[in-house]
Amino acid sequence: MKTETKNIFKDLSEVDIGTIIEMALSDHTSFSEIQLQYGLKEDQVKELMRKNLKKGSYRSWRKRVKTFSDRREFYK
């Protein structure tokens, strides 16, 4: 993980992290909306999710995001 990513996570409160996870899990919130509110890029959101979800939950989330993004032009 890059140093800049560590610093961004360090600056986030537990409430912010919980909110970002909720937003990322939602099918109605895009990565660009998360970036606008919290300044995290897609890769950083994925890293945050990987660190804070169980392995199986993270895999399921990534599979769902990938599946839906293949079907829809503008998903996440």
Does residue 20 or residue 76 have the better pLDDT?
A: 20
Per-residue confidence (pLDDT) for residue 66, from 0 to 100: 87
State the pLDDT confidence band at 56, using cuts at 50, 70 and 90. very high
Per-residue confidence (pLDDT) for residue 23, from 0 to 100: 96
Distance separating alpha carbons of residues 49 and 55, to the nearest angstrom: 10
Distance separating alpha carbons of residues 72 and 69, to the nearest angstrom: 5
Domain boundaries, given as residue ranges, for the chain? 3-71
Crossing angle of helices 55-71/42-52, nearest 10°?
150
Q: pTM for the complete prediction?
A: 0.80
Dihedral angle sign, alpha carbons of residues 32, 34, 38, 44: negative
Answer yes or no: is pLDDT of 8 > 80: no
